[in-house]
Structure 1
Amino acid sequence: MTPRIALALIAALAAPASAQITRHGSITAAGAWSRATSSRASIGAGYVTVRNTGAQADRLVSATSPRAAKVEIHTMSLDDGIMRMRPLPNGLEVPAGGEALLAPGGNHIMLIGLKSPLKAGERVPATLRFARAGDVRIQFKVVGAGSTVAGVRQGGHQ
């Protein structure tokens, strides 16, 4: 067994059983998660790591979920000491041989017009649409509202 294969096996065994990995073409989506929302919340956020093993860049162009009226790809930035969130109308590039991290405090998926609150322990289906790879179906694992760790990634506050 080569060292590279051995390391891959160790990494796979070390990942929590709850970590979901979905692959379509050269795109892999891993560790999709979201935080529980209050009973009156109309929005939620989703986080996921997207990897592109292809030789050409791809672009996450849109997303949908049966749990939300609308889903958008958003970014957060600090402008004059104020944190601002805005949609990315042209989507998010996933570089060739690279990854795009959608995480608290940065790029993320916004679930707008929730049809029901997100509850800890459930899974929320979503479809990510890529310019080259097409549709990738994922499920956001919903964790407690105050959680800072989910799946295989650690995040800050929402």
Structure 2
Amino acid sequence: MTSFCAPRIKQLVLGMALIGMAWQVSAQTRVSDAWVRATVAGQPSSGAFMTLQADSDSKLLSVQSPVAKTVQVHQSSMKDDVMSMQQVESVALPAGKPVSFDPHGYHVMLMDLTGQIKEGDSVPLTLTVENAKGEKETIQVSAPAKALNTMDHGNMDHSKMH
């Protein structure tokens, strides 16, 4: 029985590896470490964070989520010891280079929330990415909600937002 099972297991492992490789080849943009900041009751906004890596030169065009009436991509910057945020139209995703979306740089703002985002909730996000050929890709992400105590967007300067 051992002599029969070993070749079958090798075939199964090889088949699964080839399926995994096919998925890698077809994937254009990968999302990793996605999460959303949990909120308190009545809080009007939150942030979503992740790392994106595209196989070819691309750009993130937009993000949507049913938990917010308005979703925008923002970039935080520090000037004269004041942190501010501005909406950006798109974010460049250079081929093969991870682009981090975190509280201190690019991030996704979920505004006019439809309800509280509780720690442990799964928040659906839909990302639209366009490559250099103009081909659009839609990526569905389920981001866990986590508590974060490093930055409060409520205390940021939003005066330059459009």
TM-score, reference length from structure 1: 0.73
- Deviation of 1:129 after TM superposition, in Å, equals 0.4
- TM-fit CA distance, 1:25: 2.9
What are the residue-to-residue correspondences of 1:83-94 with 2, within 5 Å? 83-89=83-89, 91-94=90-93
Unmatched segments (≥5 aa) in structure 2: 1-24, 153-162
Q: Give the conservation status (yes or no) of the 8 Å contact 1:37–1:145.
A: no
1:95 counterpart residue number: 94
Opposite residue 74 of structure 2, the aligned amino acid is: H
Equivalent residues of 1:35, 1:144 under 8 A apart? yes
For 1:136, the equivalent position in structure 2 comes to 139
Give the structure 2 partner of residue 18 of structure 1: none
Q: Distance in 1 between matches of 2:138 and 2:96?
A: 19
**How many pairs align?**
124
**Residues in 2 aligned to 1:87 and 1:47: alpha-carbon distance in whole angstroms:** 15
Distance 1:104 1:24 in 2: 30
Q: Normalized per residue, which structure has more helix?
A: 2
Q: Which 4+ stretches in 1 moved above 2 angstroms?
A: none
Partner of 2:151: 157
1:127 alignment partner in structure 2: 126
In the alignment, the residues of structure 1 paired with residue 48 and residue 86 of structure 2 have an alpha-carbon distance, to the nearest angstrom, of 15
1:59-70 map, 5 Å: 59-70=59-70
1:39 maps to what in 2?
Answer: 41
Mapped contact 1:76–1:85 kept (Cα < 8 A) = yes
Residues 23-38 of structure 1 mapped to structure 2, 5 A cutoff: 25-38=27-40
Report the Cα distance in structure 2 between the residues aligned to 1:36 and 1:122, rounded to whole angstroms. 8
Q: Which structure shows the bigger proportion of residues in strand conformation? A: 1
Pick the structure with greater CA Rg.
2
Give me the whole-angstrom Cα distance separating, in 2, the residues matched to 1:50 and 1:157.
Answer: 22
Point out where structure 1 has 5 or more consecutive residues left out of the alignment. 1-22, 147-155
